[in-house]
Amino acid sequence: MNIKEYLNQYNLPYEALVKKCNIDFEKIYQQELTKNWLVPIENKLNWCNDEDKWPIEKVVAKLKSSQTFDSGDIELLSTFVSKINSIVRIGNRLNNFKQGTVLDNNESLDLVELFNQISLTKYLKEFRGTLNSNLRAFLPHLFSVIKHCQDPTKYPIYYKFWKQISKEVLLLNDDYDSICEFYTSFPLDNRTTKFGAYYGLIATKLIEDINNLDDFDRENVIKYLKDKVINLDEYKVLIDNLSNTTNLKDNKKYWLYQPGEDARLWGSYLNEGIIGLGWDDLGDLANYDSKEEIVKTLQIIYKTDSSKKNDATANWDFYKTMEVGDIIIVKKGKRKLLGYGEVVSDYYYDAERDEYTSTRDVNWIKSGEWNLDFDLVLKTLTNITQYDSEILKGQKYYEYLLSIMNDTNKLQENELVDLLKYKKQIILQGPPGTGKTREAKSISKQLISYDEFNKSDMSLIKLGEYFKTKTDKTPFIIKGISESQNYFKVKSDKATNEYTVNFKQIIDCINAKGWNDPTDNWNSHGNSSYLQVLAKAIYDRKVEKLETKYVKLLQFHPSYTYEDFVRGIVSKPNLDGDGIVYEAENKILGEFAKQALDNYLASKQKVISNTNDVSEFEAFIEYIKDEIAQSELHKYDITEAVYLFDADETRFKYKGDNWKAHFKGLNMKFSELRKIIDSGAKERQDIKKMSELEELTRQHATYFIKIVEKYYDYKEHHKHVQKKEQIVELKNYVLIVDEINRANLSSVLGELIYALEYRGESVESMYAIDGDNKLVLPPNLYIIGTMNTADRSVGHIDYAIRRRFAFVDVLPKDLSDEEGITFDKALFNQVAELFDKNLSPEFKKKEVQLGHSYFIDKSKLEEGVSMSLRLEYEIRPILLEYVKDGVLIGETIESKIENLVASI
């Protein structure tokens, strides 16, 4: 079978293809409905940030009303072309249509005129407006977006994915007008979604059928699909993973299920370890050979002509599609979850049961009640494996539901965040080992305003770095990084092939925290073992960078003073002569409060700044990157023999086809190009004379001057807006004070006791800096203290300070059900019993009982750290200290402790 014959299998009209692949189409169609992506633009406006939403909404409304634009709309239209890509994802092509861009006739682009022309033009081929060569190349994309806003039932958005499949598989003309003609042949109801599902089905089937080819045909088809047919990353990754024998896709499915009306059977099913399905009149489902047979039987039983499709699907899925290992998520009505478990048996018919005779055994993992603030799918049994979450972008529906049930601390932690936002300072108090400092750090992470993760964050991973997979700890190395094509190449020590891990998948995984999925099946596209590790590494590294700036942690001690914490006098060398001078200086809190205040004030202002040569240069670099990415050969010519082929945040990569010594390419650093431009050099010889340049730059002056010439040409033909508004984002700053009660708080805080309560108001410090005694604690500064309630050596916190803090108990708890840790429940209970039976009446158990962290088995994390070692050198000493201090009492208490140690 040649490539054309292979592709031609799916050159079928919509109705024929849907009939041939009905179940697969329904699956993809439902996925698209859940994503809510292929819908009119006005239905996606809530995806925009508030600042961009209003202008885009105004433009869309005007386009739909057939009103013409006028000069007062220029700012709206500029925002539209620069921001609309966030909800159409057609690349940065539309951003090229900037007001004032120089055109072929040396006139400037007028967005008002352009939008009015397009809105009045029915077919792209009829457009007669004047543009330049760059804008003409991108015109179909802008034309499609404007026309789609006007009438989404007649005009689709011009996606390359649809264009390429139209040309290569459907053998259609791939110009926009031809795509529109084909588009209008689809059913009117949900036309865009069905159109997209149709193309998605073709791509899916083409990839799935590759496994049926022999090795020679298989290799040719894979190459052709990637080069000519399929450009979307989500499908390219599926192709890449076909040869990955070490990372087979996990076929585990996730089901949302209700046990009877209003979940009335949940109690008995939980106790028996089963699930059942109704429609008992069908009898044993094993007697049916197809879903269609079930449909016919249901129609006879219920004497109806209706399709009974949903009922038949539920029964067929329960009997045939569901498999051992699948996860059942149990619901009650539309807004309550009851638990989840794993299917551990095949289908069986239990004739002894009075009702719900279709049965499977389930190992219930978790049960409880979780109220939701959104509606669940209504059907009795639904395969939700491929559903995307509407709540969290980038996360699967089932992942979000599982995270709600598994994150038992989430509600409490969210309440603590809300409390801290209200009170501005809290103290976490409890006995030793309850994780107070850990909890403080966790709260601070939620308060920090993380920028959205994007492509630039991928630079936190370096070429040649080694990582280990999550499950079997197999080392793998970063073998390649392509900034232009947006992927890492990784190679496992156990594999011979290299595998692609796409940037977009990593970003989606980060935003969904996919590595936390308790079923270890976050990613449905393969390479999950690499994907999760890289996503977690990037997330941790970015958080660490942000925490360094926005979170400070210190520990108080009894001799700590105001001068150590807020502001004090320091000695410094006398810069004007001999000796030293004494000056006031902000200390930890004073300096941190100043940083927070500067940010707070800046966020309230709008700064207008001029664009300069630096922004022109950055725009030029992005332009060249786009040119490389959009080139079919993935290169940008410098000369006839030498070309750019890759780029990252600091340099281009260039090479010649016949180069032998540097076949991997050389670096053309942006910093070197910047030096040449700043010097005003115009000729190759000028570059050779510049001693401040690197030797490679001077040797290859011919290539560098060519790119510099491209810059001057770009600058001449791309006129940028001369002023832009810069908005400083308000950030939260968090100060964690460990052991806050070990210092005399009244003395350490001084006049700031008032400032704690009245944020944003200045107080007078006893020390002046540059003649100013004022100190301000701004509203975006938060303080979290931790306090060990078992420490009787510390001072009492007086009422004036106590009323300005909220006190939160962090108490010992059983962590047996926590994912990812090994908890010694038996030892935890034995030690807790000592406090139940031997605690002095002078103490409260919640203030002194050993916390749960003492009972976490770290042997798998730290070699040689066994529980017996922790018992001997951590738990036993503190228990004996409690005996000495009179916390634990009784004649036999010491022998009880020793017997406990000996029994482990």
pLDDT of 30 reads 80
Q: Is residue 521 over pLDDT 70?
A: no
Q: Encoding tokens for residue 517?
A: 């999925």
Q: Is residue 625 a part of any domain in this protein?
A: yes
pLDDT of 504 reads 82
Which of 326, 353, 384 delimits the end of a domain?
384
Higher pLDDT, 309 or 425: 425
- The total of other beta-carbon atoms located within 10 Å of residue 639's CB is 10
Q: Is residue 704 a part of any domain in this protein?
A: yes
Q: Which of 148-162, 373-387, 513-527, 825-839 has the lowest mean pLDDT?
A: 513-527
pLDDT per residue over 761-787, tens digit each?
999 999 998 888 999 999 999 999 999
pLDDT of 408 reads 39
User: Domain check: are 64 and 198 in the same one?
Assistant: yes
User: Domain check: are 693 and 563 in the same one?
Assistant: no
Average pLDDT of the residues in 374-392: 75
Higher pLDDT, 253 or 515: 253
Total structural domains within the chain: 5
Average pLDDT of the residues in 691-697: 89
Nearest to 202 by CA among 18, 471, 364, 432: 18
Alpha carbon distances (Å) from 831 to 791, 792, 866, 885, 892 = 19, 21, 17, 17, 15
Q: Is residue 481 over pLDDT 80?
A: yes
Nearest to 260 by CA among 326, 311, 332: 332
Q: Is residue 406 over pLDDT 70?
A: no
User: Domain check: are 574 and 670 in the same one?
Assistant: no
Q: Is residue 33 over pLDDT 90?
A: no
Kindly report the CATH number assigned to the domain that includes residue 585.
3.40.50
pLDDT of 215 reads 63
Q: Is residue 414 a part of any domain in this protein?
A: no
Q: Encoding tokens for residue 611?
A: 């664009």
Q: Is residue 875 over pLDDT 50?
A: yes
pLDDT of 190 reads 87
pLDDT of 486 reads 84
Average pLDDT of the residues in 23-51: 81
Q: Is residue 553 over pLDDT 70?
A: yes
CA 281 from chain center: how many Å? Answer: 47
pLDDT of 900 reads 87
Higher pLDDT, 344 or 862: 344
Higher pLDDT, 772 or 613: 772
Average pLDDT of the residues in 383-398: 71
Average pLDDT of the residues in 473-502: 87
pLDDT of 771 reads 86
Task: Work out whether strand 425-430 and strand 781-788 pair parallel, antiparallel, or are unpaired.
Answer: parallel
Residue 171, sorted as left (phi over 0), alpha (psi -120 to 50) or beta, turns out to be left
pLDDT of 592 reads 94
Nearest to 887 by CA among 833, 834, 824, 851: 834
Average pLDDT of the residues in 860-878: 82
User: Domain check: are 192 and 224 in the same one?
Assistant: yes
Higher pLDDT, 636 or 529: 636
Alpha carbon distances (Å) from 824 to 829, 852, 866 = 9, 9, 11
User: Domain check: are 217 and 68 in the same one?
Assistant: yes
The rounded distance, in Å, linking the Cα atoms of 43 and 46 is: 8
pLDDT of 792 reads 67
Confidence of residue 855 (pLDDT cuts 50, 70, 90): very high
With tokens 């990372």, the residue in question is 247
User: Domain check: are 155 and 37 in the same one?
Assistant: yes
Q: Is residue 638 over pLDDT 90?
A: yes
User: Domain check: are 715 and 746 in the same one?
Assistant: no
pLDDT of 433 reads 94
The rounded distance, in Å, linking the Cα atoms of 904 and 872 is: 10
Across 18-22, 615-619, 765-769, the highest mean pLDDT is recorded for 765-769
- Annotate 403-417 with DSSP letters as a single string: HHHH-TTHHHHHHHH
Q: Is residue 401 a part of any domain in this protein?
A: no
Q: How much is the mean pLDDT over the chain?
A: 85
Instruction: Confirm if 904 and 876 have CB atoms less than 8 A apart.
Output: no
In DSSP terms, 653 is beta-bridged to 646, 667
Structural domain boundaries, residue 620: 613-720
- The total of other beta-carbon atoms located within 10 Å of residue 579's CB is 8
Q: Is residue 734 a part of any domain in this protein?
A: yes
User: Domain check: are 327 and 372 in the same one?
Assistant: yes
Q: Encoding tokens for residue 672?
A: 């070197």
pLDDT of 391 reads 54
pLDDT of 393 reads 47
Average pLDDT of the residues in 557-568: 93
The rounded distance, in Å, linking the Cα atoms of 692 and 704 is: 15
Cβ density class 422-434: b for 16+ within 10 Å, e for less: eebbbbbbbbbbb
Higher pLDDT, 539 or 529: 539
Q: Is residue 821 over pLDDT 80?
A: no
Nearest to 889 by CA among 841, 846, 833, 840: 840
Kindly report the CATH number assigned to the domain that includes residue 260.
3.10.590
Instruction: Confirm if 476 and 459 have CB atoms less than 8 A apart.
Output: no
pLDDT per residue over 346-358, tens digit each?
999 998 888 999 9
User: Domain check: are 305 and 176 in the same one?
Assistant: no
Q: Is residue 181 a part of any domain in this protein?
A: yes
Alpha carbon distances (Å) from 560 to 572, 753, 787, 789, 796 = 22, 16, 16, 19, 15
In DSSP terms, 776 is beta-bridged to 762
Q: Is residue 591 over pLDDT 80?
A: yes
User: Domain check: are 141 and 264 in the same one?
Assistant: no
State percent of the chain over pLDDT 90.
41
Residue 72, sorted as left (phi over 0), alpha (psi -120 to 50) or beta, turns out to be alpha
Instruction: Confirm if 681 and 705 have CB atoms less than 8 A apart.
Output: yes
Q: Is residue 85 over pLDDT 70?
A: yes
Q: Which of 62-71, 178-187, 303-312 has the lowest mean pLDDT?
A: 303-312
pLDDT per residue over 432-469, tens digit each?
999 999 999 988 887 885 656 778 889 899 999 999 98
pLDDT per residue over 111-155, tens digit each?
999 999 999 999 999 999 999 988 998 999 999 999 999 999 999
* Cβ-based neighbours of 194, under 8 Å, separated by 6 or more: 14, 29, 186, 187
Compute the chain's Rg from CA coordinates.
Answer: 33
- Name the amino acid, one letter, at 528: S
pLDDT of 245 reads 33
Which of 221, 243, 265 delimits the end of a domain?
243
pLDDT of 49 reads 79
Higher pLDDT, 366 or 329: 329
Q: Is residue 468 a part of any domain in this protein?
A: no
pLDDT per residue over 702-718, tens digit each?
999 999 999 998 888 77
User: Domain check: are 702 and 777 in the same one?
Assistant: no
Which of 365, 384, 403 delimits the end of a domain?
384
Q: Is residue 392 over pLDDT 80?
A: no
pLDDT of 249 reads 38
pLDDT per residue over 228-244, tens digit each?
898 887 777 777 766 44
User: Domain check: are 258 and 345 in the same one?
Assistant: yes
Q: Is residue 402 a part of any domain in this protein?
A: no
